[in-house]
Chain A
Amino acid sequence: AKPAFSDEAVQNLLCRMTGLNLEKVFKSVKKELKPPTYKLMTEAQLEEATNKAIAEAKERLRMPPVLNEREPIDDVLAEDKILEGTETAKYVFTDLTYSIPHRERFIVVREPSGVLRKATWEERDRMIQIFFPKEGRRVIPPVIFQDEHLVTVFQQDRHEDILNMCIAQFEPDSPDYIRVHHRTYDDIEKHAKYDLLRSTRHFGGMVWYLVNRKKTDGLLIDMLHRDLLDDTTSLITLYHMLHPDCPSAKEAKEGNLQGVELIKVFVKTESQREGYIQLALQAYQEAMATSTAS
């Protein structure tokens, strides 16, 4: 069966590809200005502190879930013709019981025509934000998530910030969340700005999107330029896991290839920009040769 985003093997591969750049993960966020604190530590204490920092960085790099788009709700509970002319506006009723999860709350709408129906997903999100406000979320989604303004954001290279805002504002299965994420990934792929997301929690989602749509060439070239052979092998293994019917997957399984051989087979069969990748591979191999020689 087709592996899902949340499978352990897939998550391991994506974690390894994301890398662990401690400087970038713990980059200072704009807060109140404080003078920096200095601590005097022995080697052992420094090691312990770095281990704790790595554990916290792994926690911060946990990937947000990738789900399919949710079905629109369209359920009529009752139709009362008696109420037809009595009101002018719709009434939205929210169940305020504290101990129910937000997914199971009853939110119903009584239209002026007397129809009692369940609220749509947008109405649900708005009402839940009004009565149980969450930090970082607005009642009406900000204008920045519309397509014209996303273009401006991408020109300023602030993909990571807008993805964080998107996670705070929308549910993972809402169409807006999916649309913003796809737009961001497309733009990154068009301009080859993969390094912007490299040590963030959005890298896994981007790789999943690209592999599903077979647009992995730019990413391969970028990895080869930065001499990350392990990442290229994990990317190709993920590709084979998701598309087991392609010719390179079958060849790889038969020959049980590793490393550079795997990349060569993949490049011959799957990619559109063969020339570029061959060049990058050659450059990488020359760099490896000179570094081992010297």
Chain B
Amino acid sequence: ALSAGSRVLRSYRGGHVVIRFALGGCTNRPFFRIVAAHSKRARDGKYLEQLGCLDPLPNAHGEKVAGLNVERLRHWLGCGAQLSRPAEKLLGRCGRRP
């Protein structure tokens, strides 16, 4: 049962679905999760679905590892989600968007 002070269900006025990066990790060690969420939510708050991840620091082989769940990404883009600027750049780099 929902008590008076609980914040489980939020209803916004306006706002749309965006696909953006949520920052996680520790001090001096960032780690991004590629996430589909409401634009009015906090950056690291409750999201609709996690669609992948990006590690901005290069690993032992000199690569920056990124994973993208292409099928679910297509679904959300089909539902009309917007992309943030860094998300656009990432998708452009992997060849999925001009």
Pick the residue among B52, B63, B95 that contacts A78 (CB under 8 A): B95
1/0 per position for A89-103, CB-CB distance to B under 8 A? 111111111110000
Note all chain B residues with C-beta closer than 8 A to A77. 95
* Chain B: minimal CB distance from A53 (Å): 44
Interface members, chain B 58-89 (any A CB < 8 Å): 58, 60-72
Complex CA gap A78/B95 in Å reads 8
Complex CA gap A206/B72 in Å reads 46
Complex CA gap A109/B94 in Å reads 8
Pick the residue among A78, A89, A108, A140 that contacts B62 (CB under 8 A): A89
Note all chain A residues with C-beta closer than 8 A to B52. 96
Note all chain A residues with C-beta closer than 8 A to B13. none
Q: Are B93 and A91 in contact (CB under 8 A)?
A: yes
Q: Are B67 and A131 in contact (CB under 8 A)?
A: yes
Most central of B52, B65, B72 by chain A CB within 10 Å: B65
* Chain A: minimal CB distance from B32 (Å): 13
1/0 per position for A183-195, CB-CB distance to B under 8 A? 0000000000000
Interface members, chain A 90-128 (any B CB < 8 Å): 90-99, 106, 108-110, 116, 123, 126-127
What is the chain B residue whose CB lies nearest that of A88?
B58
Pick the residue among B61, B64, B65, B68 that contacts A95 (CB under 8 A): B68
Note all chain A residues with C-beta closer than 8 A to B71. 97, 99
Note all chain B residues with C-beta closer than 8 A to A109. 63
- Which of the four size classes fits the interface of chain A? 20 to 34
Note all chain A residues with C-beta closer than 8 A to B62. 89-90
* Chain A: minimal CB distance from B51 (Å): 8
Note all chain B residues with C-beta closer than 8 A to A92. 63-66
What is the chain A residue whose CB lies nearest that of B93?
A110
1/0 per position for A124-145, CB-CB distance to B under 8 A? 0011001100000000100000
> With A108-B94, A110-B94 in contact, is A94–B63 under 8 Å at CB?
no
Q: Are B67 and A96 in contact (CB under 8 A)?
A: yes
1/0 per position for B28-70, CB-CB distance to A under 8 A? 0000000000000000000000001000001011111111111
* Chain B: minimal CB distance from A92 (Å): 5
Pick the residue among A88, A89, A91, A126 that contacts B94 (CB under 8 A): A91
* Chain B: minimal CB distance from A162 (Å): 25
Q: Are B66 and A97 in contact (CB under 8 A)?
A: no
Q: Are A127 and B58 in contact (CB under 8 A)?
A: no
- The yes or no answer to A165 lying at the interface (CB within 8 A) is no
- The yes or no answer to A83 lying at the interface (CB within 8 A) is yes
Complex CA gap A171/B66 in Å reads 23
* Chain B: minimal CB distance from A116 (Å): 5
Complex CA gap A106/B69 in Å reads 11
Note all chain A residues with C-beta closer than 8 A to B64. 89-92
Note all chain B residues with C-beta closer than 8 A to A108. 94-95
Complex CA gap A33/B62 in Å reads 44
* Chain B: minimal CB distance from A161 (Å): 27
Note all chain A residues with C-beta closer than 8 A to B93. 83, 91, 93, 110
Note all chain B residues with C-beta closer than 8 A to A93. 66-68, 93-94
* Chain B: minimal CB distance from A78 (Å): 6
Q: List 6 A-B contacts (CB under 8 A).
A: A90-B64, A93-B66, A94-B68, A109-B63, A110-B95, A130-B65
Q: Which 5 residue pairs are nearest across A and B when measured between Cβ atoms?
A: A89-B58, A93-B94, A96-B69, A97-B71, A96-B67
